[in-house]
Every structure is written in C-alpha cells, then in structure tokens.
Structure 1
Amino acid sequence: MAVRVVIGILEHASVPQYNVECQLINEKLKYISQEEEEEEEMKLVWSPETALQAYVDTVKSCKLAKQSGEAECISAMAGGWNTKLIVEAWLHDGTTTTSIGLAIAARHSGARHVCVVPDERSRLEYVNAMQTSGASVPEVLVGEAKKVMVGLVGVDFLVVDGRRKDFGRVVRVARLGESGAVLVCKNASFRNMAGFRWGKVLDNATHVVRSLMLPVGNGLDIAYVGKNCGVTDSPKSPKSWIRHIDQQSGEEHLFRG
C-alpha cells in the first residue's frame, strides 16, 4: 500500500546522521497505515513504481543532501498517487525545489501541473528561478485564489505554502476531484493559524479521512480527504462519523459510528 512504500523509500534514503528524523517520519506513516486497507474514502490509485521514480529523479535533479527532505517526499506522493491535476500555491521569496519535484512527478504520472502566484512580480521571480534550474516550467496563473482556483476543476494534489496569508482561502475554494485528494501544507510551522485543523478550512462537501504532520523541512502537514462523503448526523444516514483528535500528535481522525 501507499504508506508502506513511502516508508521503504524513506528507509532506503536515510543515513546514520539523519536516522532520528527518518525514524520519526516512519513511525507517523506506520501509524496511519494500520487501517489503510480498510479505508474506502480515498479512491486515488497508488503506484509504488511511479513514486520511487519521482523520488529518485527529484533527488538527482535538486542535488539534495542524503536525508529526507520535503521536495522528494512531496514528489513521491504526487507521482505515487497517479495524480492528474497538481496545483501549487507558491509564495514570493519561496524556493522552487518543491516545484521541481512536482514537475518531475507530473512527468511520470502524466499530470497537468499548475502554479498559482498572487501577482506579476511573483510570476517573474518564479519563472526565472525554474528556468535557471533547468526544470520544466508549469502553467503559471496569476491572481487572487478565489478567482484563479475556480477554473481548476478536479484538483487531486494541492500544495500550499503555509506562510501565505490566504492559505485557508486557497484550500477552501479549491475544486477537488471526486475521487478524493491529497492536501499538503509546506512550511507548516510558520502557518499563522492558531489551533489549525484541516476540517476548518474545507467546505461541507469534503471531509478529512486522515491527516499527519511530518518533521520534514519546516514541517509538512498532509491531509487525505474524501469528496461528497461529508460528516453527517442525518437520521437517513445508516452510519454517523465520530471525530477524534490525538492530543499528543495533533492528528485528526474520522471513524464510522
């Protein structure tokens, strides 16, 4: 399954001086993999071969250190889930290593890769940085999230920089795919939202299947979401949903009652 393959990738990439970090990541991933085979809400199809190819190619392209970094982890997830529409909400003065990884993942999965930037200054900076790196430049859309995201239908992999002031709005207005989606907040430790929960920024038609925080880079907050199967207490529904938040890890889980 998907999580177990990512665990294998991380273990393969680890070296002694980074074992502590990789072990923390592995424990998080092993925890959420316990009930993965019983989960019916995520309908995206996982390809371990594509995940590995995206991971390795990203490491080579970015010439990353021999440790688990955010660019290759995000690339492995985007490629492994065989995504068809990858959207990244980029921030001015941000790095482009994640974008390089997403471009590689898009090439392997055949996905459309779109980068959303807030203004023309950001667009010029982003395109120049990508061209300088030699990576493929994705489609770049300029404007406010509410106006730009409405035209992107069927997003199944969304990456948003947690430092963006409109972080919540970007996630809320995203038109996610009917088969579910993977949401990634990079630089999560800088996110200016006290007591953040993914459920607070999603619309009523979308619910969190599971979420986890990885100690990679400045923090990766990842949510697997299901579409059109929201939490409901309707008497017509044969089952209700119970929300549980782990007080130690901060992970949010939904269980059928």
Structure 2
Amino acid sequence: MEWSATSATKAYLETLQLCNNPSKLSESWKTTTREPGSNEFISALAAGMKSKLIVEIKSSVSPSTIALATAAKHTGARFVCILPETALNQVKKETKDSGLIDIVEFNTGDPTEILQHYEQVDFSLVDCKNDDYPKLLKMINVNPKRSIVVANNLEGDKEGFGIGGRHVTGMKDEVTVRSMKHPIGKGMEITTIGSEKRGILMKKKSTPRANKSKWIVKVDEVSVSADADDPLTAAADGNAGRYELCDTDLSFLGPPYGNISASNFICSPIWNTFVLRYFQREDNLMTIILSAVYTTGWVGIGFSRNGMMLGSSAMVGWFNKKGHARIKQYYLQGAHISQVIADKGELPLTNIPPVVALHGPMIYIAFQAKFEHRLGRQPIILAFGTRYPNHFHLSKHDDKTAVWFDFSQASFSGIDISQKKNHGILGIFGWGLFLPAGAMVARYLKHKDPLWYYLHAGIQFVGFILGLAAVVLGVQLYRSINADVPAHRGIGIFVLVLSILQIMAFFLRPNKDSKYRRYWNWYHHWFGRMALFFGALNVILGIQYGGAGDDWKIGYGFLLGLTLLVVILLEVFTCLRNRNKSDLPSNFQMNPSDMPSNFQMNPI
C-alpha cells in the first residue's frame, strides 16, 4: 500500500478548515479539550495511506469523526464510527453540518461485539477514555500488509496498542510493528503495522521489546496552480487553512523568535505541510522559521547556489529517541552520507542560538542569519529523513524538493529537474551506448567490407548528435540554475572538441595508398579512444555531481560493465580467429626464378 501525498495534504488542510474555524465550532466542541493539531494529523495519516476501511471507537463528542470522515472522502474509504447512544445525535448533527453525513456509518452498542464484524482494518482510532480500551485495542483485526492504530487520550501511565506489539490479532506471518507515544493533547500513541523490514520484527507468540521508532508523513509536490476549490490553493489564498498554518502564536519558541509578532513574518506554505516564515530587516538580518508535520527523524532546509544539494548549507533539526532537541548546520560536501559534515556550512548565522521545538504535530526550526546582501530569488532545498541521526550523522533523506524562492515577493516556483534528467539521458545514450557501439563495429567487423564502414559512420553520427544535444542542455542548465561544476563542464567541452575533430576526420580521410594514411589512422584511433574514455568518465562525474539516485548508478554501471564484457569477448574471438588463420599450411609452390640455371626438364 503506497503513500498518497496528495490525499494526505488535501485531507490535512480541509480538516484545518472544518475543525478550526470558530464560526463552525459547536458549543460542545468548544467545551471539549482541544488537542492542538491532532485532528488534521490523524486525517492526513488515514488519507495518506489510502485507507479503505476506517474504524473509530469513541466515548464522547469530539472533532475526530469529522477528521476521519474527511480522510474517507478523499480515499473513498468505508468509515465506521462506534459511539455511545448518548453522543449519537450530537455527532450526527456536527457531521451533517460539515457535509460529511453520507460518508459515516454510525453504530451504537457494545463495541466489543460490533468490532467482531470488521476485518482487515486499515486505520483505527480508539478513545482511551473508555475503560475497556485495552480489550478493544486487542480485538481490532488489522490489515497485516499495512495498517495504523491510533490510541488517543493516553493519560499518565496508560499503555496503548503497541507496547511490545503483543496486541496484533490474527497475525499469521512475520510483520513489523512500530509504536510511539506522541506528545499531542493528553497523549496519542501511533502504531504502524506492516511487512516493511523496519521497526520490530515479530513472529506469532513472540514477546519482543518495545520500540521507540515512529514515522513521518511523506509528501511530494502539489502544483500551486490548482483551482480555487483545492485546499492547498485555499491555504495559500489566506482562508481558514492558511490562518491556522501561518498565524500560529510562536511565543513557545522563546526570544527572540517568539517576540516577533506573527503579523511581521512573511509566511508561505511552500511544500505541502512545510511552511516557511521569515522576517528580513533593513540591515539584511533575517529570522527564518520552518515548520512541518513531524513524528520522527529529521527535517531540514538548505540554501543552494544552483538548486543542487551538493555544495549547499542546511539547517537540520530533530528530536532524538530520548526527546532531546537537536539542531545543527550541515555542509553537503558530497553525495555520500559521510560527506554531509556537521557544524560546517556557509550560512552566516548570528550569535543567537538556533531553536528547534515541537508544538502539536509540528516541528519548528528557527534561526537567524545576517547576509551581505538582501535576499532575492534563492534556490531552497527542503528535505526530511525518517531515521534518527546517529552521532549527528544524518541518515539518507526519504524525500526532498528544490524550489526557487523569491524572498522579496514571497513567491516560489519549482526548479525544473527534467532538463537535468534529459541531459543525463542524452549523455548516457550518446557516450555510453552509440559511440562505443560504433567503435566496436569499426574494430571487429572489418572483414565485412564495406558494410562495417557505413555502419560505423552512421552509428557514430547518431552518437555525436546525442552528445551534442547533451552539451546544449548542459549549457541551458548552467544559465538557468547556475549549475557550476567546473570539472564536469571542462571535460564535457574537451570531449565535444574531440568529437568534432572525429567528424572532421571523416571528411579528411585520405586514400589507402596515400602516404598520410598511416598518420591519419593514428590520429583517428587515439583521438577516438580518448573521447570514449573521457566521455565515460564525464558520465560518472555527472551522476555523482547531479546527486542522481542509485537507479542511475546501477543502470549506467550495468551498461558500462556490459560494454566491457562484450569488448573482452570480441577480443578473444578475434585473437582465436587470427591464430587459426596463421596455423593453416600454405600451398607448396616453386618460383621459377629460384631454379638453377642448368636445370632442364626432359620431355617424356
């Protein structure tokens, strides 16, 4: 079951509008203890995992039904709400006023009996104010492939679903169970169950230890040019969703961050649940606050010269397993984890210590930097990882995005990574496939004259066109995102010059009986070999500097390895063929000039 970032984001923001608009809150909800962020949080979880069966067991009137109904609306799920008879009319009224009454199946009665009728539950929420909640948690028949169980209102020392993972009903095979009690409201435990090889690996009848691992809402980019009815656009337009996201009281951050009025901050929802706030003074001192939905791992914001991670400086914050806050600047020297260096970077931080804090389901990263010039259009990188840093060494990010953010206008646009991808594809096909293939034709098919010559010329011409197109895209990348990688650019220009010389050699090819033919062969062969070598080297550098994923490395590694294997086999076959030719006996002939002068043949 894959994660749907779009559904999670839309459910999150729509729940913000429905559950946090004072004009729509009933008196019963107003008197109910409000758990900051809990409703939109569970709505995003249920919608993001594309739940098909959602079950809620509640003991009183609360907005959680609206939150889960909103999630069911976006996933087409069946939503069952089990509640006391005394709360039925009020909950129905609130659900009807929110326009979600047709989505909810209400059931009243003994929850222990009703639960037996539902199997393979994808998402369940249990109100632990109910005295029978331990028994109810144990009875939930979860979907073993992937499901989430939320135990809400876990006050004091109450234990929830995932303590040791022993409350998994109907488990036949090994599954992974991860639980974490989250500091939202009076206590909320989130337990994920699935077949992923993370968390606690359990077998039936086992008694594993508790695990403090959690998971984070993974989101990807949604176009901000959606229509006005889209919740993300509504959030950016300043309605109730944006009010909740951008007008949060920041006093919990402490001075100086909490002393700045929310009205002074420029606030922009930038990447789904990521919200960027900043305040830029006349002396170019900028206060920056990044917030995002958080449950585990780390969250970071990077400042890049060209939109690429390599060479950028980032502020990264997290809470470790013991709940201790951590925030550091990192310098991304290379693509490998070991090259992400802590306490290094080029951000001109002030002497004011940076701060990281949790507020409801959101993490807040706040820091100050004094820049030489007033920031305008700047490449920004946003990323998160779901694993805790180990001795301040960051784990690999689970997701990231890069945008052009204009601090003067509070606007942003995505960085077009398709050009970078196309640049790499053209380079690999040109210098990694066609040109090596054309060179092999010339070396190993000479006995197929003149076929080899036309194949060689045609294939090399196609490879040259693809390589030239890659160079043109590289120039556009350099101009559009300032992709300044001197080594890669320099080798690319050198290889282009060599390839142009090879094209010129085609038109300057002397006849076979020309005395210059031998020098032409030397020039053509060695310049071609140099071009192939440096072309392959530049493809490797491009994959490295471009921060390409493992699929690119594996794909080109396979192509390069296959090419080398074919060359070795063809060399062996060529050597064997030449050896067989040299071992054949020549026909005996006598040259008349070698006969003695007095030799005469007598006629018969």
Q: Into which bin does the TM-score normalised by the smaller protein fall?
A: 0.5 to 0.7
Which of 175, 178, 187 is 1:210 aligned to?
A: 178
Task: Say whether residues 1:85 and 2:42 are aligned partners.
Answer: no
Contact 2:164 2:210 in 1 (8 A): no
Aligned residue among 69, 74, 99 for 1:103: 69
Q: Please state how far the C-alpha of 1:68 moved relative to its aligned partner.
A: 5.6
Q: Kindly report which structure 2 residues correspond to 1:6-17, keeping only aligned pairs within 5 A, or say none.
A: none
Which one has the largest radius of gyration? 2
For 1:111 and 1:194, locate their aligned partners in 2 and report how far apart those are by CA, in whole Å. 25
Give 1:130 shift.
Answer: 2.7
Q: Give the match for residue 426 of structure 2.
A: none
Q: Is the counterpart of residue 50 in structure 1 residue 7 in structure 2? A: yes
Matched, 1:153 2:124: no
Letter in 1 for 2:125: V
Residue 162 of structure 2 contacts residue 178 of structure 2 at CA under 8 Å; is this kept in 1?
Answer: no
Report percent identity of matched pairs.
28
Letter in 1 for 2:163: R
The corresponding residue for 2:187 is: 219
SS of the equivalent of 1:57 reads helix
**Among 114, 117, 122, the residue aligned to 2:87:** 122
The root-mean-square deviation of aligned C-alpha atoms, in Å, is 3.3
- Give the Å deviation of 1:79: 0.4
Gaps of 5+ in 1: 1-43, 235-239, 250-257
Q: Which moved more, 1:204-213 or 1:175-184?
A: 204-213
Separation of aligned partners in 1, 2:201 and 2:132: 24
When residues 218 and 242 of structure 1 are mapped into structure 2, their CA distance, relative to the original with a 3 A threshold, is closer
Write out per-residue CA displacement over residues 157-192 of structure 1, whole angstroms, 9 at most, x where no aligned residue.
000112111111222111222422100011122674
**Corresponding residue to 1:140 among 97, 106, 112:** 106
Q: Which amino acid aligns with 1:128?
A: K
Give the Å deviation of 1:111.
0.5
Query: Residues 94-117 of structure 1: CA distance to partner in whole angstroms, max 9, x if unpaired?
Result: 31x211111111010110111011
For the Cα contact (< 8 Å) 1:162–1:190, is it kept in 2? no
1:208 and 1:221 map into 2 onto residues whose CA distance is 16
Query: Does 2:78 align with 1:112?
Result: yes
**SS class of match (1:213):** strand
With normalisation by structure 1, the TM-score equals: 0.65
2:139 corresponds to which letter in structure 1? Answer: V
Q: Would the aligned equivalents of 1:100 and 1:130 in 2 still touch at CA under 8 Å?
A: yes
**In the TM superposition, what whole-angstrom CA distance separates every residue of 1:56-77 from its partner, at most 9, and x where no partner exists?**
1111112259x96100000000
* CA distance 1:245–1:219, shift in 2 (3 Å): same
Q: 1:70 aligns with which of 38, 62, 65?
A: 38
Q: Contact 2:54–2:79 at 8 Å: present in 1 too?
A: yes
Q: CA deviation at 1:155?
A: 0.7
Distance (whole Å) between structure 2 residues aligned to residue 58 and residue 194 of structure 1: 25
3-state SS of paired residue (1:55): helix
Give, in whole Å, the separation in 2 of the partners of 1:194 and 1:127. 28
Report the AA paired with residue 122 of structure 1: A
> For 2:39 and 2:121, how far apart are their aligned partners in 1?
19
Supply the distance in 1 between the matched residues of 2:156 and 2:91 (Cα, whole angstroms): 21
Distance across 1 between alignment mates of 2:124 and 2:51 = 10
The amino acid that maps onto 1:199 is G
The equivalent of 1:177 in structure 2 is 143
Residues 198 and 128 of structure 1: is their aligned pair in 2 closer, same or farther, counting only changes over 3 Å? farther
The code of the aligned residue for 1:177 comes to N
Sort the Cα spacing of 1:106 and 1:231 in 2 relative to 1 into closer, same or farther, 3 A: same
Residues 76 and 245 from structure 1, CA distance in 2 versus in 1: closer, same or farther, beyond 3 angstroms? closer
In the alignment, the residues of structure 2 paired with residue 225 and residue 194 of structure 1 have an alpha-carbon distance, to the nearest angstrom, of 14
Native 8 Å contact 1:145 1:173 kept in 2: no
CA contact (8 A) 1:162 1:187 kept: yes
Comparing both chains, which one has the higher relative contact order based on Cα–Cα distances under 8 Å and sequence gaps of 6 or more? 1
- Contact 2:178/2:192 (CA < 8 Å) preserved in 1? yes
SS at match of 1:217: coil
Q: Is the Cα–Cα contact under 8 Å of residues 75 and 104 in structure 1 kept in the other structure? A: yes
Check 1:103–1:245 CA distance in 2 against 1; reply closer, same or farther (3 A cut): closer
Q: From the superposition, tell whether residues 154 and 241 of structure 1 become closer, same or farther in structure 2 (CA, over 3 Å).
A: same
**Secondary structure of the equivalent of 1:175?**
coil
Q: How much has 1:81 moved relative to structure 2?
A: 0.3
- Superposition TM-score, scaled by structure 2 size: 0.29
The question of whether the paired residues in 1 share the 8 Å contact of 2:125 and 2:151 is answered with yes
Matches within 5 A, 1:12-51: 44-51=1-8
Deviations 1:2-32 (A, max 9, x none): xxxxxxxxxxxxxxxxxxxxxxxxxxxxxxx
The runs of 5 or more residues in structure 2 that have no matched partner are 23-34, 213-320, 324-604
1:116-169 CA-partner distances (Å, limit 9, x unpaired): 11x322323322343345543510111222210111122100001121111112
